[in-house]
Copies of this chain bind each other. A is one copy, B any other.
Amino acid sequence: MTLSGKQYIGNTLSEQGSQTFAGINPATGQKLETEFFEATPQEVGQAVELANHSLSIYRKKTPQEKAAFLERIADEILALGDALIKRCMAETALPEARLLGERGRTTGQLKLFAQVVREGSWIDARIDTALPDRQPLPRPDIRQMHIPLGVVGIFGASNFPFAFSVAGGDTASALAAGCPVVVKGHPAHPGTSEMVASAIRKAAQETGMPEGVFSMVQGTSHEVGMAIVTHPLIKAVGFTGSFRGGKALFDAAAKREEPIPVYAEMGSTNPVFILPGALQERGEKIADGLSKSVTMGVGQFCTNPGLVITQTSELTQQFLKQTASHLQQTPAATMLTPGIQQAFHKGIQHLKSISDVQVLAETEVVSGSNQAAAVLLQSSSKVLTDNPALAEEVFGPSTVAITCDSKEEMLEIARNLKGHLTATIHGTQNDLEENRELIEILTTKVGRLLINGYPTGVEVGYAMVHGGPYPATTDARSTSVGTAAIKRFARPVCYQDFPDSLLPEALQNQNPQGIWRLLNGEWTKNEI
């Protein structure tokens, strides 16, 4: 397809702005073809109003119709073929295999969500039937289900150009919930964003969805994003990115005349605790696995393990040496954007400037190349206590190893952790039994707790939690990956004493959708 560089406002390509920007190839520093227009606040307003106009039509589409739309989006993304992968490689410097995998994850996610929408039970239908003879007062008939929150504003992420961007998890879950979306494409991959937007627009047209159910605006400025978050018709926001970015959206949303929920996933350091028995049993294997997890995708994952906690011992020193050696051997690679690369190097310099922080692995990269090589730092739990910055995220291929002199020191580190997306424990069965307290503490700190694995790689399924207490996210009650993400964009409503014919189908006596319903306190698919 030919890129237009314009805003996708419903079926209209809009170019009201005068400012433009271009995609940059981070590997070469060169501008890529097509100038993209910065969206104006007016264009954002048009997109949101059109979306709001589409809401009353879109929310009434049957589960089958919404599911077909989601599946068609997946098909239209695949139909973009190699051109999409090539443009995305040029914009992100991510390798082809990774992008093919990420595309598969993105289309698989759309199809899984379509399945959940078609099945229908996600709306959590509840029915308390009337008790006309109850004393002293009759009980009315009350029926509850979830309905869409309204128009959702979604921000594409830099590090997942497919899976957390224009047709990523936030868009898939908002559309699945019945909410129209207005997406802001990430300016690091505007061509990829436009191609995916064209796929969604085509899918909407071909499956008879109302115009405005999807729009996308582009821009490098904060104003475009703020225009979305502060628009009165926007009812929720999805975001994946930096703490600073997510917190700014959260604050703006809280200050609105009508505050709205912001689901910002802002990353974390994903601490990994390695217990002595595991080190003894398979230290070399863990060093290998950990190194791969730290350097995967040039460390540009929200779930990158940035903090490794071990107990001081000969074995630990050997393990860290092995890890350093693996990291040292991992070739430097190009980061997503010059800004991310500079922030990485600045972050590492800051950590290195803390006294009693040793550098175990670090390789010089070609100056001006936008590359990063893996870094391993080491310090003690005492230094960590005095310098909480050591536990803060440096986005990129680095990790900080903290050695503790005792189990109690390790527990104290766990107790002092802020919220993280994940925590990991490596241990033998014996280690784990002896460290149940560590498991208990970590459970209260994270969205996902792993045993003997690596936090990078987030499964899209029914049970995944990609979330966690603040500051990992702005809403610990939610996940941004997995089918439970759909519920973020819905709210409960109940119907009292409605004639059957006026109830939404999902709540009618005959249960025409065949869904699970909590009928007088019992889950059943039965009719009434």
Contact = CB atoms under 8 A, between A and B. Distances in A.
Contact of A496 (B259, B448, B478, B501): B448
Interface in A158-217: none
A497 B454 CA distance: 11
Contacts of A357: none
A448 B143 CA distance: 9
Given A147-B444, A436-B502, A462-B128, A467 B492 contact: yes
A500 to B, nearest CB: 11
Contacts of A413: none
A336 interface: no
A491 interface: yes
Contacts of A495: 448-449, 451
A461 interface: yes
A523 B483 CA distance: 14
A518 B453 contact: no
Interface residues of A, number: 78
Given A459-B142, A523-B523, A439 B518 contact: no
Given A128-B463, A259-B250, A516-B523, A498 B139 contact: no
A289 to B, nearest CB: 13
30 contacts: A115-B521, A121-B523, A128-B462, A137-B457, A140-B450, A140-B459, A144-B462, A147-B444, A149-B477, A250-B254, A250-B259, A258-B471, A261-B475, A261-B477, A429-B499, A432-B499, A433-B502, A443-B493, A447-B492, A447-B493, A449-B493, A449-B495, A449-B496, A449-B498, A451-B495, A451-B496, A451-B497, A464-B494, A467-B491, A477-B490
Given A449-B494, A451-B495, A479-B492, 20 more contacts: A56-B444, A124-B484, A126-B484, A128-B462, A139-B459, A140-B450, A140-B459, A149-B476, A250-B259, A254-B254, A432-B502, A447-B492, A448-B494, A448-B496, A451-B496, A451-B498, A451-B499, A452-B497, A464-B494, A484-B492
Interface of A: 56, 60, 101, 115, 121, 124, 126-128, 136-137, 139-140, 142-144, 147, 149-150, 250-251, 254, 258-259, 261, 419, 429, 432-433, 436, 439-440, 443-444, 446-453, 457, 459, 461-465, 467, 469-471, 474-479, 482, 484, 490-499, 501-502, 516, 518, 520-521, 523
Closest 10 CB pairs of A and B: A254-B254, A126-B463, A465-B494, A128-B461, A450-B496, A144-B463, A142-B463, A128-B463, A476-B491, A477-B491
